[in-house]
Chains A and B, each alone.
Chain A
């Protein structure tokens, strides 16, 4: 790490580069590190206490892996609890800013590994946590108000280039913006779906409850949600609108937490993360006011600006350019597939499509042995947990993996060339349920892959 001061134009880099290198106070990164570490620690403890480690990663006999990550397996009761212990310790270390970089790497790896075990448990905010922890690896969030600084005072910095904070703001802004784009959908805007279904289920809420049967309330919430998601990042960036915008962040996410308690930690993660949009001076003020309490740990001031060597800088620029290009492309990969996105769900995950549809399904699987003509109907509970069955019943990529698993199991039970057929029905956004898969296709012979699944019947709009 070297001390540098401007004159980067000599490198032939444009003006925006200078702007990105503009030194600001490090405080927003530090607040973010502490809040993120704390929240992850709390989430892990909550997850553990709910018994979800065992329920989701030990008890199932079969796991729905992701394409290309078939090598990811659960590690057994002791192994999974050990993994979560490592995750918890690394989030605590992130919070404390102790051995920060190894801790960030460890957290990213353990968390992402767990998420890759079973696509049943995919949640957009878990994906968000993976991305943020990846970004944190590269950021100097341990250079101020961190135990690393207490032990290694020479690494202390009070100023960092704008890009270090900008990366997180950009990532967060993209989550909101893409979630907003996803809501520009006729179902959401013109039919107020799925809120029109979900809100009447919430009439127990005080004050607002009785209004929730009214369709206009669902329309209001839908449009408000779409506009909020599209605009909030811009209003948070703008100094003048920021306080009001943050009020909306709180109001919006707390409202979703009250309306949909099932979404767990997500609202709190967004509320806390959005805090990073406040100015560096605002964040610096927080630490200033805390100084008297922590005075024994405060080392002498150091006004060096954190910066990277030119070669490292180029490397970072490449990594992050690539990262954000992917972030822009991935949500739109669905355009490469024919068919209806909500129905086929090809390119649905990793795209910030949050609470966009009400989809329920049921799938009856049959094993046929060609040699004997015998049919065996599958009791899904024998192979899947209730949550796995529910998730599988509406997602073709899970159905095909399950079909292949069934074929393997029944071949093991002595059936010759077992064929697997599925009769499944799906109801989307309040429409009547319809046959979902071609029930004449032997799924055991179909390939798992990136190509369009032709055995999913095309979407046809049905009456309500």
Chain B
């Protein structure tokens, strides 16, 4: 038995254990932002200038929407419906502006899933109204609440007629419950951001699965996937051999599918550039010396947004009447998605996966 060997071995183990303990688990922000890139400043910009104001704004919009909806429910007339529509649209657009930030508290409560799973399941909604029993907290009723449910309940062709029927109380209550549910979810998220989560967010400069930066890049890919699939591709008939399902598009009954899609992509670009603040993911790419890639991505954002804007609203009609325009926009979105999932993900060292596992 070699004693010196053993002693040396124990010293070695101790020093290694110490080294690991020193390295693991404390995620303090980079103490001195070096010549590289200040990730904490970037995250602070996202939190203070885009995410928190976005939720505050959405809270306000939902408040306004509630008032307008109540006015409509009290007097369900065509005129009141017309007054309500732009207010509904504004709130829905505001949601598009925060949709990409499903990280932290929004991810915990599954905000986007509960607020915007479309198309709404209209049969289930009608059943809920008839029975008067439903639990919005269940993930099985994702498609019976949020904006898509309101879109159907407030703006479907026979909405006014149904609200003036004798049995309209159940229906009115359901609409109010949907609004309350939406408000409470947004309030939870906003409160959490304003109290604890902001600090966690801005100080976590990791990039692995579950980290803010990892989430951001993954969310870009996710939202673009949504845009390409559920928002445009699926209702347009891309997956169904050309058979159009216009009523499956987002904001179908209010006829605002185009506006919502444009706002969604605009917001994505804003999120990508950090609202041109010099502190966005785009600037991180520049710091990583990926200038060309960055300018290509921004250019592709612009092209896709332009093509999307060229489609006349309601986009659900364009699926049949302006196929070429929709197809052109669809191609550009696909190219943008390709950039994000391959070039951008590679350059930032972020794994695009919504699933955790070992790698090597």
Contacts and interface: CB of A to CB of B under 8 A. Distances in A.
Interface of A: 50, 52, 55-56, 121, 123-125, 197-198, 200-206, 209-213, 243, 246-247, 250-251, 254, 257-258, 260-266, 281-282, 284-285, 288, 354-355, 358-362, 364, 369, 372, 374-379, 385-387, 390, 425-427, 430, 432-433, 463-464
B242 interface: yes
A165 B349 CA distance: 40
A387 B229 contact: no
Contact of A204 (B8, B205, B341, B343): B205
B284 to A, nearest CB: 9
Nearest to A271: B16
B259 to A, nearest CB: 25
A362 B338 contact: yes
Contacts of B357: 52, 55-56, 121, 387
A211 B29 CA distance: 14
A116 to B, nearest CB: 17
Given A125-B360, A204-B204, A262 B238 contact: no
A365 to B, nearest CB: 11
Given A254-B19, A433-B338, A203 B39 contact: yes
5 contacts: A50-B356, A204-B204, A213-B37, A264-B358, A376-B239
B350 interface: yes
Interface residues of B, number: 69
Interface string B337-360: 111011101111111111111111
B12 A250 contact: yes
A269 B292 CA distance: 41
A385 to B, nearest CB: 6
A290 to B, nearest CB: 13
A433 B241 contact: no
Given A369-B241, A387-B357, 13 more contacts: A56-B357, A123-B358, A123-B359, A123-B360, A197-B346, A203-B30, A206-B23, A246-B12, A360-B341, A361-B341, A376-B238, A386-B353, A464-B292
A362 B290 CA distance: 20
Contacts of B28: 206
B8 A210 contact: no
A387 B355 contact: yes
* Shortest Cβ-Cβ A-B pairs, 9 listed: A213-B36, A264-B358, A201-B349, A374-B241, A433-B342, A285-B1, A201-B207, A427-B342, A204-B205
Interface string B313-347: 00000000000000000000010011101110111
A410 B337 CA distance: 26
B209 interface: yes
A263 B359 contact: yes
B6 A285 contact: yes
Given A204-B206, A377-B239, A266 B37 contact: no
Given A258-B20, A432-B293, A201 B348 contact: yes
A355 B355 CA distance: 19
A460 to B, nearest CB: 16
Contacts of A285: 1, 6
B2 interface: yes
B1 A281 contact: yes
B343 A427 contact: yes
B341 A362 contact: yes
Nearest to A262: B359
A260 to B, nearest CB: 8
A427 B347 CA distance: 10
Q: Which interface residue of A124, A198, A376 has the most chain B CB atoms within 10 A?
A: A376
A386 B16 contact: no
A387 B353 contact: yes
B35 interface: yes
Contacts of B360: 123-125, 263-264, 266, 354-355
Given A250-B12, A263-B360, A430-B346, A243 B5 contact: yes
Contacts of A427: 342-343, 345-346
Contact of A376 (B12, B32, B241): B241
Given A213-B37, A375-B242, A364 B334 contact: yes
A204 B27 contact: yes
A377 B241 CA distance: 8
A159 B232 CA distance: 72
Interface string B10-40: 0011001001101110111111101111010
Given A258-B23, A261-B208, A372-B241, A200 B349 contact: yes
